[in-house]
Structure 1
C-alpha cells in the first residue's frame, strides 16, 4: 500500500482508515515518506460522476468570478475615492488593504466552516457560502466609499466557507484512480473563471461610458462598477439554485442520516466514494496540527498561496501604473484582456496536459517545477519596465516579454492540482478530511492576507523612495521564491510513483 492509500501513523490506532483506496482494498498502513509495498496490478479506472462533478465545477466557478472580476477596475475605482486624494502612488496601499481583508476574515472563519461540514455535511455549508458571495458582490457594486468596499469584502470572507469544503467534496466524489483527474480540473475551472471574470470586469465596468445608448440611466453613472459585480452576484445565485436542487450530500454520516428522504437519495448510484463511512469521529485539532504529513503539505500550500497572491496583486497594479512611474499605463479594459487571455490559455493547457504531465513526472516533480518559476516571474517585471521606459511605448519586445510572463504563469498554476492531492492524502481519516482542508485553507487565507499588502506596499515604497530604481519589491519576492523551492523538496516522492501505476484517463 502506498501513500495515497495510507493513513498517518502518528495519530492513533483508531484513525487508520485509508483516505484514497481501491474498492477491494481492505486494510494497511504506510508512512508518509516511503511506501511499504508496490502495486503490481493497476485497478480499473472509475469514471467520474458527471452530474455531481458538474455541479461541483459550477460552485467552484463562483470563487474566481467573484474574486477576479474586480481586478481590472479596482485600481481605477480606488483612485477615484476621496481616500487617495488623487495621489496615484497611494493607490497600492488601499488596494492591498481591500485584497488582504477578505483573506484575513476568511482565515478566521474558514476552519470553522470546514469543521462544521464534517458534522452537518458539505451541502449546507456550500449553500451558505454561495448566499454570502451573492450578497457581498451586490454590496461591493453599490459601494462608493473606501470603508463600504472594505465591509463588502469582509462580508464575503466571513460567509465564504466554500474553498476548503470544495476540496473535501471533490475527494469524496472520487477514488484513487480518478482523483488526479478531478483535482486537475480545479486549475482549469479557476483559469476559465478568471478568463470570464477578467473580461467581465474590463468590458462591463463603466457601462455608461462604453455603451451610452444601452446604459444611459443615472444609476450607471452613480455606480459605474455595479454591472460586473451584479453579473457575478447573479452567477452565484444560479450556483446556489443548482446546488440546492442537484447536489447530493457526500459526507458519509450526513448522507446516511438523509437516506429516509427520497429526494436526497434518488440518482447516481454509481458515484464513487473514496472515503469509508465506518470510521470514528474527526481527529482533534490539537493532534491534527502536530501531524507531520499535514504540516508538510499545508506549509507547501501556504508557500504557493503567498507567492501566487503577491504576484497577482502586483500584475494589475504594475499594468495600471503610469509608464513614468515604472508601469505600463494600461486602462481597465486592456488589463481585463491580458488577464483574460492568460486564463483562456491556462484553462486549455490544464485541461489537455495537466493529467498527462502528472502521470509522466509525478505530483512532487510538477509541484517543484511550479514553485521554481516564481523567481523568473518576479524577475520579468523590471525587464518589462526597462523596455517600456526605453521606448516610452508598448513595442513588440515589451509585448513579447509580457506574453512570456503570462506563459510562465501556466506552469505555476499546475502546483495547485498537485498540492491538493498531497493535502487529501495527508488527512488522518475520512472524517478529518474537512478539518484538514479547512486547516490548509486557513493557512492559505492567512498568507493571502499578508501577500497583497506586502507586495503592493513594497511596490509603492519602492517607487516613492526609488529603491533600487523602483525594483526592490521584485528582488525581495525573488528571495522568497527561492526559499519556497527548499520547502517543496520536503514533500514525499511516493505519491508520484503511485500515480504512475494508476494511470487514469
Structure 2
C-alpha cells in the first residue's frame, strides 16, 4: 500500500509532548484493561463456587457468559454519556471518577459470595470503564498536529500491557489461602478466595486516581481561563465524532477526528453497500472474537471428564498473559508490515480462517485430554497452536501507524486495525467519517455484548445434551467464522484512497 501525504508546505517542527499529563492519562488507561481482564482466569470457578449451578459443572456457561456480557452492555449504554458530561463539567472530574468507580467495583466483586452481586459488580465496572473516549479527547486537546501521532502511538502498548498484567494478577493471586497458607491462611481468604487479585487491581485503579488528583490538569477549553480564537475553539470543541466513535470502541486506539468545514452527510448516505458490507464484516469479527475469548478459559477450566482440560486459575492466567505479551509484540512489530504487504482485506481473511481453525481444534484438544486422562504433551501442543492462531485473530483488531488515513483526516498519522482501515476508507466523505465509525462501533459493541452470553450458554447446552458428540458449540463457532470469511470476499480488493 502506497504511502501518501496531504501536507502543504514545509513540515512544522514538532511540539514537545506534555509528558507528565500523558503519563497520568496513560496510567488511568492502564487500570482499565487490568481491571477488565483480571477475572478471566478465575471467573468460571468463581461462578461454580457460588453454588448457583448446584454442582452441575455443565451449567457454568449459562452464568459465566452473563457476567461477560453485562460488562460490555453497561459500558455501551453509558460511555457516550461520559463524553457528553465531560463536555459540560470538564474532563478532569470524569477521569478521576472513572478509576475510583473501577476500584470500588473490583473490591465489590472480590467480596461477592453470590452470583447476583458478581453481576452487579461487573455491571458497575462496565459503567466506569467508559472513560476511554474522554481520555482520547484530552490527548487531542493537549497536543497539536505536530505531536498527536506520537501521543497516540503509546496507547496500544498501554492497553497490551494492562491486558497482559491482568491475567497474571488474576491467575497468580487467586485462592491465596491454598497457595500460600502461611501468609494468607486466615479465614477471610478462605471465605473470599478471589478477593486478593481483585483488591490488587482495585488498588492500582485507586492509585491512578490519586496521582491524577494531584497532577492532572483540566483540558476542556471552557474550563480554562485562556482566550482562544474562534477557530481554535471550534477545533478543540468538535469532539462529537470522537464521542460517537468511542461509545463502544473499547480497547481501540483511533485518534479522534478533527473538525472539518464540510457539513456532515445525512445518515441515509451511510446506508449503502460500500459502508454496510465492511460494517457487517466488523460485526462478525467482533462476535466470533468475543465468543472465542469467552470459550477459551471456560473450556480450559472445565474438568476433563465433562469436556475440558481441568486447568486451574493459575495456569489459565499464565497462558492468557503469555498470549497478551506475544500478541503485543506481533501487533507492534509485524502487523503494519503484514498489512502493507498483503493489504487489510487479506489480513481479515486470514483472521477468519484462524478463527475457524481455532474452533476446529477444540474437539482435538478435548479428545487428547480425555484419552490421556490429563493434559499431556500432545494436548499442550494443541493449546500452543490455538494461542498462535489467536495471534492471527488479533491482526483483525491490531493497531499500526497507517499514513494513508491522512487522506481522510487532518492528522500526521493514525492508528487503525485492518478492518477499521476498510471501514474508514468506506466513508462517503471526510465529514461522514465520525458517523461511519460510530455506526460500526455501535454494531460491533452489540455483537460483543451478545457473544459471551450466547457462546457460553451454547457451551453448556452442548455439554448437557451431548449435542453433536459434545462438539456443537465448536461447530457453530466454526460456521460463524466461515460466514465471516465469505463476507470478506466481497470487501474491496483495494482501498479507494490508496
The answer to whether residue 326 in structure 2 is matched with residue 360 in structure 1 is: no
More displaced 10-residue stretch of structure 1: 54-63 or 43-52: 43-52
- Cα distance in 2 between the residues matched to 1:289 and 1:175: 28
Q: Distance in 2 between matches of 1:116 and 1:429?
A: 28
Higher relative contact order (CA 8 A, sep 6+): 1
The residue number in structure 2 matching 1:303 is 284
- Give SS of 1:484's match: helix
Quote the offset at 1:239 in angstroms: 3.1
SS in 1 for 2:445: helix
Q: Is the 8 A contact 2:75 2:126 kept in 1?
A: yes
Distance in 1 between the 2:69 and 2:481 partners? 20
Give the 5 Å matches for 1:103-252. 103-114=72-83, 125-165=94-134, 188-242=157-211
- 1:27-426 equivalence runs, <5 A: 49=17, 51=19, 54-55=23-24, 57-114=26-83, 125-165=94-134, 188-242=157-211, 254-255=220-221, 258=224, 260=226, 275-277=257-259, 279=261, 286=267, 290=271, 295-416=276-397, 417=399, 418=417, 419-422=419-422
Maintained 8 Å contact 1:176/1:274: no
Q: 1:22 to 1:275 in 2, by over 3 A?
A: farther
Q: CA–CA distance in 1 between the matches of 2:71 and 2:377?
A: 37
Identify which range, 146-155 or 410-419, moves more after superposition. Answer: 410-419
- Inter-CA distance 465–47: structure 2 relative to 1 (3 Å threshold): farther
Name the structure 2 match of 1:453: 453
Q: TM-score, normalised by structure 1?
A: 0.76
Q: Give the drift of 1:184.
A: 7.2
SS of 2:170's equivalent in the other structure is: helix
User: Structure 1 residues 424, 112: CA separation in 2 closer, same or farther (over 3 Å shift)?
Assistant: farther
Would you say the 8 A contact 1:362–1:496 is kept in 2?
A: no
CA drift at 1:108: 2.2
Q: Which runs of 5+ in 1 are unaligned?
A: 6-20, 26-41, 266-272, 499-505
C-alpha displacement at 1:203, in angstroms?
0.9
Distance in structure 1 (CA, Å) of the matches to 2:479 and 2:63: 25
Shift of 1:447: 1.5
Which residue does the alignment assign to 1:475? 475
| CA positional deviation for 1:169 | 6.4
Distance 2:13 2:478 in 1: 41
Task: Please give the per-residue CA displacement for 1:357-397, whole angstroms capped at 9, x wherever unaligned.
Answer: 23333333323322331100111111111111122222211
- Name the SS for the 1:82 alignment partner: coil
Shift of 1:147: 0.8
**Could you tell me how far apart the structure 2 residues matched to 1:237 and 1:311 are?**
31
Q: TM-score, normalised on structure 2?
A: 0.77
Deviation at 1:289, TM superposition (A): 6.3
Is the CA contact (8 Å cut-off) linking 1:65 and 1:196 kept in structure 2? yes
CA distance in 1 between partners of 2:199 and 2:453 (Å):
27
Conservation of the 8 A alpha-carbon contact between 2:136 and 2:256: no
The runs of 5 or more residues in structure 2 that have no matched partner are: 233-254, 400-416
8 Å contact kept, 2:103–2:206: yes
Q: 2:319 and 2:473 mapped to 1: Cα distance?
A: 22
Q: 1:279 to 1:427 in 2, by over 3 A?
A: farther
- Aligned counterparts of 2:92 and 2:264: Cα–Cα separation in 1: 18
What residue number does 1:462 align with?
462
SS at match of 2:287: helix
Does the CA-based 8 Å contact 1:168-1:433 persist in structure 2? no
Deviation of 1:209 after TM superposition, in Å, equals 1.9
Distance 1:348 1:200 in 2: 20
Count of residues paired in the alignment: 452
Residues 189-223 of structure 1, C-alpha deviation per residue, up to 9 Å, x if partnerless? Answer: 44432221111111111212212222244332232
Between the aligned partners of 2:201 and 2:224, the Cα distance in structure 1 is: 32
Return closer, same or farther for 1:135/1:22 CA change in 2, 3 Å cut-off.
farther
Matched with 1:18 is: none
Q: SS at 1:214's partner residue? A: helix
Residue deviations 1:238-294 (CA, integer Å, cap 9, x gap) = 3334555666777xxx447636299xx9xxxxxxx985446478778x568647666
Q: Please say which of residues 348-357 and 125-134 is displaced more in the overlay.
A: 125-134
Check conservation: 1:318, 1:327, Cα contact below 8 A. Answer: yes
Counterpart-to-counterpart distance in 2, 1:405 and 1:183 = 31
Per-residue CA deviations over 1:75-125 (Å, capped at 9, x if unaligned) read: 111111131222211111111111111222223223444555677776654
